[in-house]
Amino acid sequence: MSTQLFHVLPEMTLPVSGIKHDAGTHVTTQIIPAFPFMYWPSDKPCEPLNMYLLDIAHEVTGDSLKTYAAELSHLVRYCGEKDVGIENLTNADIHELSKELQEERSHRHPLERARNDNTVRGILSRTIRFLLWYQETFILLLRTPLIGEQKVSPQITVKRVKNDQSRGNNRQIEYFYTHAAMPSSESREPKRPIARPIIEDIQRCIYRLSILEERSARFIQRHGNDRDLLLAQLEYMRARRAFMIWMMMRTGLRPSELVQMSVKDHENILTTKTLKIPTKKRRKVTAPMRRLPILLDAATVVYRYLLSRTAYCDALRKAGSEPAPGTAFFLTLEGEPIKKTSLEKDFERLAAQAGYKGVQACLSMFRHRFITYEVTVHLKEFIYKSGKSRQMMTDIDYESILKRVAAKTGHGSVQSLWNYIDLAWEELGVWTLTDKALARLQAFDQLFTDGLLLKHELESSGKRLPKELQPFLDRLGEILAPAKQHIDGHDPLAKT
């Protein structure tokens, strides 16, 4: 059931409409960066699904089309294996599909389900949307409806539900459909900002994995045909992972933006002191650029990573490989641009190796950490300057705060940031006691990172740490332990 039934085609340019003028014909085209071409289990093209994805392509962003194709693969496989046409589906088929989705076991962990109930609901919801489109596009009005509410006696009975999302000055009313075969939704703990102890443990893990002597004999034997190249790989992986964590902590950018950053835009980073980040989620083929000014010490971190990237490409060439890095910031071990999914999976592996297997820890939680901090800081500043209390705040006040944050995070609308206002108010009550502690801990974050880097550089050069510096990192933790114990119980950046 889980095998995808599509392959991704490269960028497509399709004509959408044409208007004939006296001066000639004007043709409007649509560019689809990556189109998931779907096929039946028999390997024949699945024309209805491909038509549907083409029809909605202009409404979606990023990898959404591939997500929809993955969700609809389950319906396509079901129809192919059961030999039932889309127009002949009934309530019984939807119940059977739902049962199979719920009972399927994980390939990696046979004792666990392949997906939870919320994922099953999402797949069935996407299936319903497609069937509604299919009916509107292909089903004759004279025949029995394929899908609809009970009053029209359809083959598949769904219920239309109103979802009223009102926040700020905008009132958004949306409708969605449910089916009796859908399992009950699971209440999930909302994703919180990633905790500081988790970040520090992952940073230690990154350092530990870069030391050849720390790796298993099996690992060394498997990768040890060229020892110099192996050492170069370990060093680059350390640099890439450490820089990824640094970027996520300080910019709150999306992983999809991280992998699309261009080296060419940062060749003179020490002079420009500006990060250029492509803004995703804007339904544009070329992501608009947002610029974040940084200080010289931060620019030095970027410059240092780019040196590591160049050194690794040189090591690959010396070993007889032909890397093709292009302008991508982050590279695979083969020296090619890394995909977003690979970067995310690499972080998941790091979290597991750092002792957080089964714990909610992903790259998007860095974005929550950054946004939570930004909203709280801006709200605190606004209250200080305006003298307003919570009861005096208006939607216009909140929107002015969120617009400033959105300029940094790349949000096209402030509506998706409203929940951070609630979180900021929860935390604001303790900030008068924690401002100094937070400032100390922010400095500690950088000092901790720099300490690991210093230790790595000294040991890589074959030198031992001076005896008085050996317990350097542990001593730092002891010095700031009282502040950490105080703020970790209140600071929005420290919650799991």
List the chain pLDDT tens, one digit each, 496 residues: 446 789 988 777 777 667 777 777 777 777 777 889 999 999 999 999 999 999 988 777 657 888 899 999 999 999 999 999 999 999 999 999 999 999 999 887 777 888 889 899 999 999 999 999 999 999 887 789 999 999 999 999 999 988 755 555 555 567 789 999 999 876 555 567 788 888 889 999 999 898 887 777 777 776 667 888 899 999 999 999 999 999 988 888 888 888 989 999 999 999 999 999 888 754 444 557 888 899 998 999 999 999 999 999 999 999 999 999 999 999 999 999 998 889 999 999 999 999 988 777 888 888 888 888 788 888 888 888 888 877 888 888 888 888 888 877 777 677 777 877 777 776 665 444 444 444 555 555 666 676 667 666 666 666 655 555 555 556 555 555 554 554 444 444 444 3
Q: Which helix (H) or strand (E) holds 209?
A: helix 196-209
In a domain, 340, yes or no: yes
Clarify whether residues 22 and 169 are in a common domain.
yes
34-65 residue pLDDT tens: 889 999 999 999 999 999 999 988 777 657 88
The phi, psi pair for 277, rounded to 5°, reads -120, 125
- Whether residues 271 and 338 share a domain: the answer is yes
Structural domain contains residue 10: yes
* Domain identity same for 379 and 422: yes
**Long-range contacts for 275-278 (Cβ within 8 Å, ≥24 apart)?**
275/251, 275/302, 277/251, 277/253, 277/410
CATH of the domain at 153: 1.10.150.130
pLDDT at residue 432 in the model? 46
Which pLDDT belongs to residue 187? 56
Task: Give residue 167's domain range.
Answer: 6-178
- Answer yes or no: is 439 within a domain: no
Number of neighbouring beta carbons within 10 Å of residue 365: 20
Number of domains in the chain: 3
For the stretch 484-496, pLDDT in tens is: 554 444 444 444 3
Residues 276, 238, single domain; the answer is yes
Would you say residue 253 lies in a domain?
A: yes
Q: Are residues 174 and 320 in the same domain?
A: no
Boundary residue ending a domain (428, 454, 476): 428
Statement to judge: residues 390 and 259 lie in one domain: no
Domain boundary among 131, 152, 178: 178
66 & 212 share domain: no
43 plus 81 within the same structural domain: yes
Q: Is residue 473 part of a domain?
A: no
Last residue of a domain, one of 307, 341, 362: 362
Integer angstrom CA distances of residue 140 from 46, 134, 161, 163: 21, 11, 25, 30
